[in-house]
Amino acid sequence: MYQIKLLNKISPSGLDVFPKGQYSYAEEAQSPDAIMVRSASLHEYEFEPSIKAVARAGAGVNNIPIDRCSELGIAVFNTPGANANAVKELVVAGLLLSARKVVPAIEWLSTIKDEGDAVPGLVEKGKGKFAGPELKGKKLGVIGLGAIGVMVANIARHFEMEVYGYDPYMSVSAAWAISRSINHASSVKEIFETCDFITLHVPQTPETKGMINTESISTMKHGVRILNFARGGLVVNADILAAIDEGKVACYVTDFPSAELIGQKNVVVIPHLGASTPESEDNCATMAAEELREYLENGNIKNSVNLPSLSMERSGKVRLGVIHRNVPNMISQVTQTLSDAHINIGNMTNKSRGDYAYTLVDADSDLPAGLIDTMQKIEGVIRVTIY
């Protein structure tokens, strides 16, 4: 029985992917084989030795200690694109809210709610201070052209915005999906200097952390509107609040609340609702559960963020999955261990990713006792699993 430990609320349609009687899932598990998580932080988590995989039902993996997982031989998965449409739709709302002062205007209405028949008159008299510009004809800069950024860039064209996109690492599939009418910015500086609206769609990494700060804001247009549906850490809150105070930034819309942002003028704070639709919660949970099943049952890897993608159709009697360092002589040592035990290899495949590599072997006969221990002791082998 495979045990899955759930660290956040996971959509039932994802949990239905696990066959009853073969899998159990709960918030507490004695010897979990895998963890399913959304936004809970695992940075302080003591991984049980039984854990082979972590599946993030979502895109961002900055809540997971990826390097530590790799060193422990734990495969980390995410669900690319599964919640992109949900985020795109909320970004559209964010664009409109950043331009038209709908949020403060609604708040203002509650101050005149006891004025009886005078309300319509007060509305017509007071509404002038809530005027805001149209999107049509304005320049939108999209930083990060992945699953979400491409969708945002494309839909903004339907508002007749002039769209600029920046992503030095853009994937081939994103390049196919993006509209040809999007202008290619050759640097992030170009976005900062050119655009009236800037929206962030990059992961939080050491490279992107704090990218919106006093210095970068100083290169932007006066009255720029900034949207952050990616991660709170991309923006230095104190710097953007100072820029709002000076009028340099007209509005900041973020999906990542912090005490200093809540209630501030010209800041629209949303409680991390980007992916909170039933559709995206189902998509993410289903994709994450399918990835876990394929890995736990067959050792096949799809959508891992720390190990290579590698799948092989099953053959032979026993399958071995070996996570090892990406250094010379590893494959020969793995195969030598099998040949020393007179095991014929029916099929095998290997792929590397950065410092790590993964070898899948289908053996034609059962493995003798002790073989796994012998293989595990090879220098550079991190984890050996039988499937």
Ligand X SMILES: O=C(O)CC[C@@H](O)C(=O)O
Ligand Y SMILES: NC(=O)c1ccc[n+]([C@@H]2O[C@H](COP(=O)([O-])OP(=O)(O)OC[C@H]3O[C@@H](n4cnc5c(N)ncnc54)[C@H](O)[C@@H]3O)[C@@H](O)[C@H]2O)c1
Pick between residue 276 and residue 374 the one whose CB is nearest to ligand X.
Answer: 276
Residue with tokens 């998509």: 283
Rounded-to-integer distance, Cα 117 and Cα 245, Å: 36
DSSP calls for 4-21: EEESS---HHHHTTSPBT
Cβ(248)–Cβ(276) under 8 Å?
A: no
**What is the residue whose two structure tokens read 């050119």?**
194
The residue within the footprint of ligand Y, chosen from 174, 198, 289, 307 (CB under 6 A), is 174
Q: How far is the CB of 284 from ligand Y (least distance, A)?
A: 9
DSSP at 301 = B
Stretch of 55-63, 245-253, 324-332, 348-356 lying at the interface with ligand X (CB under 6 A): 55-63
Give Dmax (Cα) for the chain: 93
Q: What minimum distance in Å lies between the beta carbon of 41 and ligand Y?
A: 14
203 binds, among ligand X, ligand Y, none (CB under 5 to 8 A by kind): ligand Y
> Between helices 278-298 and 84-99, what is the axis angle to 10°?
150
Residue 141 binding ligand Y, by CB under 6 A: no
Residue number, nearest CB to ligand X: 58
Residue 38 interacting with ligand X (CB under 6 A)? yes
Q: How many residues does the chain have?
A: 387
The residue among 208, 207, 271, 202 whose CA lies nearest residue 230 is 202
Q: Does 60 bind ligand Y (CB under 6 A)?
A: yes
Residue 232 touches ligand X, criterion: CB under 6 A: no
Q: How many residues sit close enough to ligand X to count as binding (CB under 6 A)?
A: 9
Identify which range of 153-161, 260-268, 269-277, 345-353 contacts ligand Y by CB under 6 A.
269-277
The two tokens of residue 114 are 């006891």
145 touching ligand Y, by CB under 6 A: yes
55 close to 288: Cβ distance less than 8 angstroms: yes
Closest CA to 200 of 168, 169, 231, 177: 231
Instruction: Quote the least distance from Cβ 131 to ligand Y, whole Å.
Output: 29
Residue 200 binding ligand X, by CB under 6 A: no
Q: 79 or 359: whose CB is closer to ligand Y?
A: 79
Instruction: Indicate which single residue of 146, 165, 299, 321 sits in contact with ligand Y (rule: CB under 6 A).
Output: 146
Determine the Cα angle at 118 with ends 112 and 120, to 5°.
85
**Continuous H helices in 18-83:** 66-72
- The candidate with the shortest Cα–Cα distance to 383, out of 34, 74, 77, is 74
Per CB under 6 A, 161 contacts ligand X: no
Among 32, 149, 299, 321, binds ligand Y (CB under 6 A): 149
Cα 190 to chain centroid, rounded: 25
- Location of structure tokens 């930083």: 143
**Shortest distance in whole angstroms from residue 210 CB to ligand Y:** 12
138 binds, among ligand Y, ligand X, none (CB under 5 to 8 A by kind): none
Q: Which is nearer to ligand Y, 154 or 208 (CB)?
A: 208
Q: Which of ligand Y, ligand X, none is residue 374 near (CB under 5 to 8 Å by kind)?
A: none
Are the C-beta atoms of 262 and 269 separated by less than 8 Å? Answer: yes
- Residues paired with residue 349 on neighbouring β-strands, in sequence order: 360
Contact 227, 197 (CB under 8 A): yes
**Part in contact with ligand X (CB under 6 A); list of ranges 14-22, 152-160, 269-277, 359-367:** 269-277
Stretch that binds ligand X, among 54-62, 141-149, 309-317, 348-356 (CB under 6 A): 54-62
38 binds, among ligand X, ligand Y, none (CB under 5 to 8 A by kind): ligand X
Contact assessment for residue 160 and residue 131, using Cβ atoms and an 8 Å cutoff: no
User: Which residue's C-beta sits nearest to ligand Y?
Assistant: 146
**Interface with ligand X (CB under 6 A), residue from 11, 70, 83, 359:** 83
**208 contact choice in ligand X, ligand Y, none (CB below 5 to 8 Å, kind-dependent):** ligand Y
| Options 18, 229, 295, 356; binder of ligand Y; rule CB under 6 A | 229
Report the nearest approach of ligand X to the CB of residue 91 (Å): 13
Q: Pick from 200, 275, 330, 357: which binds ligand X (CB under 6 A)?
A: 275
Active site residues: 231, 260, 272
DSSP 289: H
DSSP state of 262: T
Question: What is the residue type of 133?
Answer: P
- Residues that bind ligand X in the complex, under the rule CB under 6 A: 38-39, 58-60, 83, 274-276
